[in-house]
């Protein structure tokens, strides 16, 4: 009996202790899981805002921070001086729409399905804007996107249809067509500022894709910059008169400043007499006709004397090619000046509104561009000038001013990088890698890739660049051109940075060639690419991506 009572007492005591422990555990667990939800302000303070600025066809050499002395871009340079400059920023497919699809999805073209500018894009697939939106971001896409269909993942979109126009451009605002008066770069900047100031919900973190059309062909400058560079003579690159020896595919290009640059369409020689009858005269007439009378008067006042002078000179051969180069450089760089102004306005807005500290600002282009190297304009090739793209980034909270990054990053890495900063999980099928660790001074020393992969598919097509793919390491590059040819090229970028000597058959490079072939097989395996896309397997390829021609 006594024992029993003790037992009961003990049991009761045990039960009380147990109950207390149980209550403490329950309280702890519930307090963890039902913690008062963070206010939007608290959340916004943690997740950085992102302003992702992309221009179109902007060669890295045409940004003064890269030190080539062609022009002065003080506002774009500010991003580098207050943050980081990437010396080895690359794309995976050097053409507009595919590049943007890679940027949005974090997947190579053969995975996201948008292989060229012509075949459709499937917006239903996942992209990083959708993921940020789900995590509470306000998202906007303003300017050039060049992907068919209504952008998905954005609370607000106001985009150019296709390539867009320089003067009095049409836009598509949330699916509805609107025409704006003015110059496209300024209009795009104004729309971006308007969204920042008046359209977004200010208590949420935001993602703004602010994407300029310039400096895309046909390089029509803004009136205030007509005369900029008038007194400068640009020196053509050393390989301007390239003979393409040992590079039969390059020899078949249709992107030569001498032969393929149209004096009316590209170089504005729309004479009133109609004597300069070029292939694309009518197309340029269409762009000119978009201008109102005031815009036309200012345009004519600048270009008419140049037209008369050009006609009087009757240039031919090398002299004509050099004249074209000079005209091209002037207009191309002028359009960049307006892009730089816009960057300055957006940076100022962030500053004036106390947003600088918690906003990541990235400046990049959809790919690089030839400024006379190999005698070319345009892009598409895996050669450095178009494979590379400018990349500058600032985020005062994590990136030390004046950071220089020499590792090879690609547009494939934007999606995972932004998700990483926002603390949103990165899906397993994303192929890029977050480069946050490369720019964060505290995380230095992390492992990074030592090879990058490239693909290009738009052939047959404009500018006649054959289909190819390849691998680039820090020092070497191996390229395979296929479809209607079977051509291999190997470059030693240390001894031949301009890629003038294909050493593929040079016995001195036989070991390197073997190694690079292995690297190519490895990297294609890593990214799940093995087939060369051709007419026979195209339909099956598209079907697998939920698309059709
Ligand atoms: C247009 C241009 C080409 C350019 C492509 C792709 N021709 O077709 O010169 O290569 O765009 O550029 S034009 O006569 O229309 O100007 S991309 O940047 O959009 O990929
Ligand atoms: Ca482009």
**How far is the C-alpha of 394 from the C-alpha of 237, rounded, in Å?**
31
Q: Which helix (H) or strand (E) holds 300?
A: helix 293-313
Same domain? For 49 and 186 the reply is yes
Is position 28 within any domain? no
The residue with tokens 């547009």 is 411
Same domain? For 151 and 267 the reply is no
The residue with tokens 């051109």 is 481
Same domain? For 511 and 406 the reply is no
CA angle, 367 then 369 then 370, to 5°: 155
What is the per-residue burial (b if ≥16 Cβ within 10 Å, else e) of 64-83? bbbeeebbebebbbbbbebb
**Ligand 1 centre distance from Cα of residue 240 (Å):** 21
Q: How high is the pLDDT of residue 10? A: 42
Q: How high is the pLDDT of residue 548? A: 86
> Of all atoms in ligand 1, which is nearest to the CA of residue 97?
20
DSSP letters, 237-251, are PTTTT---TT-HHHH
What is the per-residue burial (b if ≥16 Cβ within 10 Å, else e) of 368-394? bbbbbbbbbbbbbbbbbbbbbbbbbbb
Ligand nearest to the CA of 465: 1
**Ligand 2 centre distance from Cα of residue 354 (Å):** 33
Is position 349 within any domain? no
CATH of residue 525's domain is: 3.30.1120.10
The residue with tokens 């400018």 is 390
| H helix count then E strand count, the chain | 16, 16
Same domain? For 103 and 148 the reply is yes
The range of the structural domain enclosing residue 443 comes to 43-218+355-448
Q: How high is the pLDDT of residue 101? A: 98
Same domain? For 195 and 64 the reply is yes
Burial class (CB in 10 A: 0-12, 13-18, 19+), 108: buried
> Of all atoms in ligand 1, which is nearest to the CA of residue 265?
14
Same domain? For 386 and 439 the reply is yes
The pLDDT tens digits along the chain (549 residues) read 334 443 344 444 445 555 445 544 444 444 444 444 454 445 545 899 999 999 999 999 999 999 999 999 999 999 999 999 999 999 999 999 999 999 999 999 999 999 999 999 999 999 999 999 999 999 999 999 999 999 999 999 999 999 999 999 999 999 999 999 999 999 999 999 999 999 999 999 999 999 999 999 999 999 999 999 999 999 999 999 999 999 999 999 999 999 999 999 999 999 999 999 999 999 999 999 999 999 999 999 999 999 999 999 999 999 999 999 999 999 999 999 999 999 999 999 999 999 999 999 999 999 999 999 999 999 999 999 999 999 999 999 999 999 999 999 999 999 999 999 999 999 999 999 999 999 987 765 668 999 999 999 999 999 999 999 999 999 999 999 999 999 999 999 999 999 999 999 999 999 999 999 999 999 999 999 988 899 989 999 999 998 888
**How far is the C-alpha of 263 from the C-alpha of 276, rounded, in Å?**
8
Is position 178 within any domain? yes
Measured from CB, residues less than 6 Å from any atom of ligand 1 are 56-57, 95-96, 117, 146, 163, 216-218, 378, 462-463
**How far is the C-alpha of 103 from the C-alpha of 348, rounded, in Å?**
26
Same domain? For 76 and 191 the reply is yes
Using the Cα atoms of residue 442, residue 447, residue 450 and residue 451 in order, give the sign of their dihedral: negative
pTM recorded for the entire structure? 0.92
**How far is the C-alpha of 46 from the C-alpha of 440, rounded, in Å?**
17
Q: How high is the pLDDT of residue 442? A: 72
Is position 339 within any domain? no
Same domain? For 211 and 293 the reply is no
Same domain? For 98 and 201 the reply is yes
Same domain? For 322 and 368 the reply is no
Is position 252 within any domain? yes
Report the domain count for the chain: 3
Same domain? For 430 and 465 the reply is no
**How far is the C-alpha of 371 from the C-alpha of 373, rounded, in Å?**
6
Same domain? For 504 and 490 the reply is yes
């Amino acid at each position: 009996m006594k024992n029993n009572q003790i037992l009961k007492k003990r049991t009761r005591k045990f039960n009380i202790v147990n109950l207390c422990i149980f209550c403490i555990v329950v309280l702890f667990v519930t307090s963890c899981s039902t913690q008062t939800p963070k206010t939007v302000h608290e959340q916004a303070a943690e997740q950085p805002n992102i302003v992702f600025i992309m221009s179109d066809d902007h060669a890295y050499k045409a940004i003064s921070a890269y030190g080539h002395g062609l022009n002065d871009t003080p506002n774009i340079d500010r991003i580098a001086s207050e943050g980081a400059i990437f010396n080895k920023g690359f794309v995976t497919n050097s053409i507009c729409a595919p590049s943007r699809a890679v940027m949005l999805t974090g997947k190579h073209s053969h995975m996201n399905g948008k292989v060229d500018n012509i075949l459709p894009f499937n917006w239903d697939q996942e992209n990083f804007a959708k993921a940020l939106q789900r995590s509470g971001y306000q998202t906007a896409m303003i300017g050039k996107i060049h992907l068919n269909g209504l952008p998905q993942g954005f609370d607000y979109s106001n985009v150019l249809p296709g390539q867009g126009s320089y003067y009095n451009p049409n836009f598509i605002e949330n699916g509805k067509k609107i025409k704006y008066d003015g110059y496209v770069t300024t209009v795009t900047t104004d729309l971006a500022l308007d969204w920042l100031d008046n359209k977004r919900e200010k208590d949420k973190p935001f993602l703004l894709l602010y994407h300029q059309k310039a400096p895309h062909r046909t390089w029509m400058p803004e009136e205030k910059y007509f005369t900029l560079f008038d007194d400068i003579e640009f020196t053509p690159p050393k390989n301007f008169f390239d003979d393409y020896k040992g590079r039969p595919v390059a020899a078949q290009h249709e992107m030569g400043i001498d032969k393929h640059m149209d004096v009316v369409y590209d170089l504005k020689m729309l004479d009133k007499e109609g004597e300069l009858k070029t292939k694309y005269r009518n197309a340029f007439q269409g762009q000119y006709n978009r201008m109102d009378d005031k815009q036309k008067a200012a345009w004519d006042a600048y270009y008419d004397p140049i037209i008369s002078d050009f006609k009087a000179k009757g240039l031919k051969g090398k002299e004509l090619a050099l004249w074209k180069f000079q005209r091209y450089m002037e207009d191309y760089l002028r359009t960049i000046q307006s892009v730089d102004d816009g960057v300055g306005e957006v940076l100022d807005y962030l500053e004036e509104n106390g947003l600088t500290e918690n906003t990541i600002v990235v400046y990049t282009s959809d790919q690089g561009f030839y400024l006379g190297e190999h005698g070319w304009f345009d892009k598409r090739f895996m050669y450095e000038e178009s494979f590379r793209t400018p990349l500058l980034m600032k985020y005062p909270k994590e990136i030390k001013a004046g950071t220089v990054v020499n590792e090879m990053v690609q547009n494939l890495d934007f999606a995972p990088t932004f998700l990483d900063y926002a603390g949103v999980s990165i899906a397993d099928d994303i192929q890029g890698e977050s480069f946050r660790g490369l720019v964060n001074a505290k995380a230095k020393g992390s492992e990074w890739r030592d090879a990058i992969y490239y693909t290009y598919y738009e052939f047959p097509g404009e500018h006649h660049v054959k289909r190819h793919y390849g691998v680039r390491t820090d020092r070497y590059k191996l390229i395979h051109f296929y479809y209607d040819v079977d051509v291999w090229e190997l470059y030693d970028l240390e001894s031949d940075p301009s890629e003038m000597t294909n050493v593929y058959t040079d016995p001195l490079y036989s070991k390197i060639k073997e190694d690079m072939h292995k690297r190519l097989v490895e990297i294609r395996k890593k990214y799940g690419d093995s087939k060369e896309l051709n007419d026979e397997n195209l339909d099956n390829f598209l079907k697998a991506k939920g698309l059709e021609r």
